Amino acid sequence: MAGRLNGKVALVTGSSSGIGQAIAVRLAADGAAVVVNYRGSSEGAAKTKQQIEEAGGRAVVVQGDVSKMEDLQRLIDESWTQLGGCDILVNNAGVEKGADFWEVTEEDYDMVLNVNLKGVFFLTQAFVRRLREAKRPGRIVNISSVHEDMAFPHFSTYCAAKGGLRMLTRNLAVELGSLGITINNVAPGAIATPINAKLLDDKPKLDSLLKNIPLGRMGSSEEVAGVTAFLASDEAAYVTGSTYVVDGGLMVDYHEQ
Ligand code: NAI
Ligand code: BGC
């Protein structure tokens, strides 16, 4: 398996922690040079870079907030300047904020939609423009969620964003196919990362979630990274417009209580 991304450059947003960190490490292990992006945690990004380098890989760190339009173009430009291109874009950065629908503020709506959907939209646009100019193919993998499809009560902003991402991916598969660019979503279920810190600390809630997961446990970031690396590689050359669910069976486990 090692080496299937040799010669490729990958940009992974929000790769200073959790799933993004595992993806950056995995893509580097498969041979890609990686742009490690972070918004606030330079220590987390340095840790990702260190893990990559200790395993013999190559990484650069670039700060950037995906909810800021001016940072998006810069992320792509830095990848081309520092690593000679950008062949793989992993839109991983994400945030969620729980609230009853009737309590959601405009500020929270903007925060969640700007990171999880608008940022993906315009970073992908900047990524595609450079590839189109250079007449080079590419791979886009969006870290979506089971909630691109499945209700998540009290997280209406998150569902609106991830549901939007689902249709964006399908639409772009059609628009980008002739450019040799594939785009797919990975939809994780419950993965043990900082985004789930509250849940991990709430045993009754956690136990009730685990009862709905056929495999009986939360997933790991590395398990999401494995599927992402596959979609980023030539082994997935004929896959586009799809969502790969990585959820231990959560989505298919409908049952009467
Ligand atoms: P996390 O909180 O560890 O990672 C999110 C990352 O995004 C952090 O590194 C954070 O700094 C970064 N980020 C947030 N806003 C940003 C911004 N404006 N600009 C740049 N980076 C920003 O949580 P996790 O779980 O690793 O989340 C990664 C992705 O996986 C998210 O898109 C999330 O929605 C998705 N996901 C997570 C699941 C889980 O159960 N952990 C399940 C389904 C999807
Ligand atoms: C959310 C997590 C949640 C998981 C399963 C993810 O998209 O970010 O908070 O535990 O879906 O519901």
Number of domains in the chain: 1
Q: Does residue 253 sit within a domain?
A: no
In a domain, 255, yes or no: no
CB–CB of 142/186 below 8 Å?
Answer: yes
In a domain, 252, yes or no: no
Q: What is the pLDDT of residues 100-116, one digit of tens each?
A: 999 999 999 999 999 99
Ligand 2 centroid, distance to 134 Cα (angstroms): 37
CA of 189 to the centre of ligand 2 (A): 6
Name the percent of the chain in helix, strand, coil, to the closest 5: 50, 15, 35
Ligand positioned closest to the Cα atom of 68:
1
Question: Which residues in the chain show pLDDT less than 50?
Answer: 1
Residue 139 resides in a domain: yes
Does some domain include residue 118? yes
Give the integer Cα–Cα distance in Å for 216 and 210. 5
Which of 13, 95, 96, 115 has the most ligand 1 atoms within 8 A of CB, as the residue to mutate?
95
pTM of the model: 0.98
Question: Is residue 257 in a domain?
Answer: no
Taking only the tens place, the pLDDT of each residue in 160-200 is: 999 999 999 999 999 999 999 999 999 999 999 999 999 99
Q: Has residue 256 been placed in a domain?
A: no
Give the whole-angstrom CA distance, residue 243 versus residue 149.
10
Among 195, 212, 213, 218, residue to substitute to test ligand 1 (most atoms within 8 Å of Cβ): 195
Tell whether 144 is covered by a domain. yes
CATH number, domain containing residue 151: 3.40.50.720
Domain that holds residue 37: 9-244
